[in-house]
Amino acid sequence: MATLEIRDLHVNVLTDDAPKEILRGVDLTIAGNETHAIMGPNGSGKSTLAYSLAGHPKYQVTSGTVTLDGEDVLAMTVDERARAGLFLAMQYPVEVPGVSTSNFLRTAATAVRGQAPAIRTWVKEVNAAMADLEIDPVFSERSVNEGFSGGEKKRHEILQLALLKPKIAVLDETDSGLDVDALRIVSDGVNRYKAASAEAGEAVGIMLITHYTRILRYITPDRVHVFAGGRVVESGGPELAEELETNGYVRFTGVGAGA
Amino acid sequence: MATGALDLEAGTQSGQPTGQHGLTAHSHGGEGLASQHPGERQSPGTQVRSGVAADHPVTTGKEEAWRFTPLRRLRGLHDDAPLDGVPLTVSATAPDGVTVSELTGAAAREIRGVSGYLPTERVEARAFESAPRSVLVDVPAQTELTEPVRIALVGQAGEAATANHLLIRIGAQATAQVVLTSTGSATLTDIVEIVVGEGAHATVAVLGEWSSDTVAVSRHHIQVGRDATVKHVALAFGGDLTRLYTSVDYTGPGGDAELLGLYFADEGQHLEHRLMVRHTAPHCRSNVLYKGALQGKSAHTVWVGDVAIERTAEGTDTYELNRNLLLTRGARADSVPNLEIETGEIVGAGHASATGRFDDEQLFYLLSRGIPEATARRLVVRGFFGEVLQRIGVPVLVERATEIIEQELAVTGA
Ligand SMILES: Nc1ncnc2c1ncn2[C@@H]1O[C@H](COP(=O)(O)OP(=O)(O)O)[C@@H](O)[C@H]1O
Ligand SMILES: [Mg+2]
């Protein structure tokens, strides 16, 4: 079981003008087999946190530490972080024209597992995972995310979660923009991976970033953290989400949660 | 420049990525469209056609056909640099039934222009007039080859300019593949004439693996016979500056030309491809697909694809596509497709052009899945070129091109 520890993390985003401070001292620990919901209004810095963990070059850590099982995550390159067991399902997955999804998945699995998966079991594994997420098999031959609808992109992110089997998964607004059916499919996918991972003894830890409480009906969090102004401002159990459902973020930001 | 009838995709793209989604197809239906780019024709007709260099003015660089080419780097090929360098060495591996011969003097002069070609530029006329020899590749009618004819041209001369002329004659109903490879160091003006007889099936592929100091200005002319099918493949990797102008004429109905190209420009390299497909005969097809990757400072590629459908060319079906992938900053890809239509009675006519960047977000996405950077770049470039490689149909060539692409990617350690 893995543990991700974030301590007093300060991050600037590099803009065309001066760097702008977004994260202002984030403290958070996510242990294996735990699901933490990070809830906050738009612009509070949730995606910045996710990208910073993954190592996006636009985000510059100015102070603080991030460790995965004691290893310094911030010293790792982007691909090293992924191979160390960190996975980010992006809010806006990127289109990569010319690279087929099947080739991409296999290359990623080879990198993360340290060796190329045996072809026969791999094909079965991919087909099963795609069927679970109700992804049409024709998608394997399409370019990565190219021309996928919003919902298809999100399902494709969860497909990668299932195949790359991370120790810590950061899901950045995987629920946004999904209709009820897609939300159920995606949530089932996350729960399925979590169960499989626990059974395999790895027990993934999940950071579920969301703006809405809706997904929490499908994925039960162990802890709920309210994120505002670039830091965690309050933490509690699932009941905190219920309070947000009723009152919005107004208590934390002075403004409503929005739509 | 594109007229108002076309959107910006069809205009000159000077390294301005249109994004990876920027690929736009333009289709011109059979509605009797007027000439689309009258100002831009680079076809013979208004130009001088002559095998005598003195009949052509010295190129100034202001001509439409030369506006992207840095003349300074041509070492006088376009002007009057003496063509007294050591000629290219030529070696051939030909299956039984095929003859490859070197002709000089009157015999050489006699075969120059048999494809209906006459030089339209001074640099070509210089080769036409004074290439020290002609190489003739003759595939007799009805011959069915199962192995490619392979011709290796090796530059010997470095800075001293030389010229070459080659004629590939594929007889009626024959099936043949001819692969030309160019290596070594040269300052060269050369002409390749390709005559594809009635009902023949021909592939002619050129692989440019010149050493990095080579300057080569080439003209290929293809005469497509009635019901003949020809595939022309241009692979450009090496050289300091290479420029290939490929023109296609049809002598009868039913001709089919597929023009494929793949280029990879590194720091400082100038790789230019120009095409002129002139549809005069009815019921002919042309399909153009060129893809290029660029990396490094001042890597520059130029692609200009002209297709003209004349009044007599009813039932024409044509499509051309050029895509460029900028792997690093500082590289520049110019891409200009032109389509001129003088008859409404066509099956289809379209063109598209796009220049995209392998951008930081795409790279980040692949890295974030654990894929190392070098592998990520390979994945993208292989995927990009795959469409062209799959259509070449000459396994030895595809293998070699794949190897070179891998080496190119290793160069930047990218
Ligand atoms: N690449 C960027 N360039 C400029 N500003 C950015 C960039 N990324 C984030 N920001 C700014 O940082 C703040 C937090 O953004 P983000 O982390 O996306 O919030 P959230 O995911 O909570 O909606 C916002 O004010 C946003 O405008
Ligand atoms: Mg966000």
Domain map (residue ranges) of chain A? 3-258
What's the pLDDT score for residue B67?
95
Task: Give the C-alpha separation, A161 to A135, whole Å.
Answer: 14
The domain ranges of chain B are 24-358
Q: Of the bound ligands, which one is closest to the alpha carbon of residue A44?
A: 1
Question: How many CA atoms lie less than 13 Å away from B102 in the CB half-sphere?
Answer: 12
Residues A155 and A188: beta-carbon distance below 8 Å: no
Task: Give the C-alpha separation, B400 to B396, whole Å.
Answer: 6
Q: How far is B363 from chain A (nearest CA, A)?
A: 9
Token pair for B3: 């007229």
Q: Rounded to whole angstroms, what are the CA distances from B256 to A239, B48, B199? A: 71, 28, 10
Residues in chain A: 259
Is B390 at the interface with chain A, CB within 8 A? no
The residue to mutate among A11, A47, A92, A249, having the most atoms of ligand 1 within 8 angstroms of its beta carbon, is A47
What's the pLDDT score for residue B12?
39
Write b or e for each residue in B104-142: b if 16 or more Cβ atoms lie within 10 A of its Cβ, otherwise e.
Answer: eeeebbebbbebebbbbbbbbbbbbbebbbbbbbbbeee
B369:A94 CB<8 A: no
* N-term to C-term CA, chain A: 37
A94:B361 CB<8 A: yes
Task: Give the C-alpha separation, B200 to B210, whole Å.
Answer: 31
What's the pLDDT score for residue B359?
79
Confidence bin at A53 (pLDDT 50/70/90) = very high
The residue to mutate among A17, A22, A175, A232, having the most atoms of ligand 1 within 8 angstroms of its beta carbon, is A22
Q: How far is A248 from chain B (nearest CA, A)?
A: 33
Task: Give the C-alpha separation, B320 to B275, whole Å.
Answer: 10
The number of the ligand 1 atom at minimal distance from the alpha carbon of A91 is 21
The secondary structure of B264-285 as a DSSP string is EE-TT-EEEEEEEEEE-SSS-E
Q: Rounded to whole angstroms, what are the CA distances from A132 to A65, A150, A189, B71? A: 37, 18, 7, 61
What's the pLDDT score for residue B295?
93
Residue B373: which of A54, A79, A103 has the nearest Cβ?
A: A79
The ipTM is: 0.96
Give A217 or A258, the one with higher predicted confidence.
A217
Chain A, nearest residue to B367 by Cα: A79
CA A68 to ligand 1 centroid distance, Å: 25
What's the pLDDT score for residue A255?
52
B370:A112 CB<8 A: yes
The number of the ligand 1 atom at minimal distance from the alpha carbon of A227 is 22
Instruction: Classify domain A3-258 by CATH number.
Output: 3.40.50.300
pLDDT tens column, A178-214: 999 999 999 999 999 999 999 999 999 999 999 999 9
Pick the residue of B362, B365, B384 with the most A CBs within 10 A to test the interface with A by mutation. B365
**Residue of the nearest CA to atom 24 in ligand 1?**
A43
What's the pLDDT score for residue B46?
54
User: Which DSSP helix (H) or strand (E) runs through A157?
Assistant: helix A150-164
Q: Of the bound ligands, which one is closest to the alpha carbon of residue A89?
A: 2
Q: Pick left, alpha or beta for residue A135 (phi over 0 → left; psi -120 to 50 → alpha; otherwise beta).
A: beta
Q: Which residues are CB-neighbours of B355 under 8 A, at least 6 positions away?
A: B13, B15, B16, B17, B18, B22, B323, B324, B325, B326, B333, B335
What's the pLDDT score for residue B370?
98
The residue to mutate among A48, A59, A60, A172, having the most atoms of ligand 1 within 8 angstroms of its beta carbon, is A48
Q: How far is B164 from chain A (nearest CA, A)?
A: 38
Q: How far is B380 from chain A (nearest CA, A)?
A: 6
| Confidence (pTM) | 0.80
Task: Give the C-alpha separation, B270 to A9, whole Å.
Answer: 48
Residue whose tokens read 């692949």: B366
Contacting residues of B for A166, CB less than 8 Å apart: none
Residues B322 and B353: beta-carbon distance below 8 Å: yes
Q: Chunk chain B into consecutive blocks of 10 residues (it has 414) and report each block's average pLDDT, rounded to whole numbers.
A: 28 40 35 32 64 95 95 96 96 97 96 97 97 98 97 92 98 98 98 98 98 98 98 98 98 98 97 98 98 96 98 97 93 96 94 88 96 92 92 97 92 53
pLDDT tens column, A163-182: 999 999 999 999 998 999 99
Pick the residue of A102, A107, A148, A171 with the most B CBs within 10 A to test the interface with B by mutation. A107
A83:B370 CB<8 A: yes
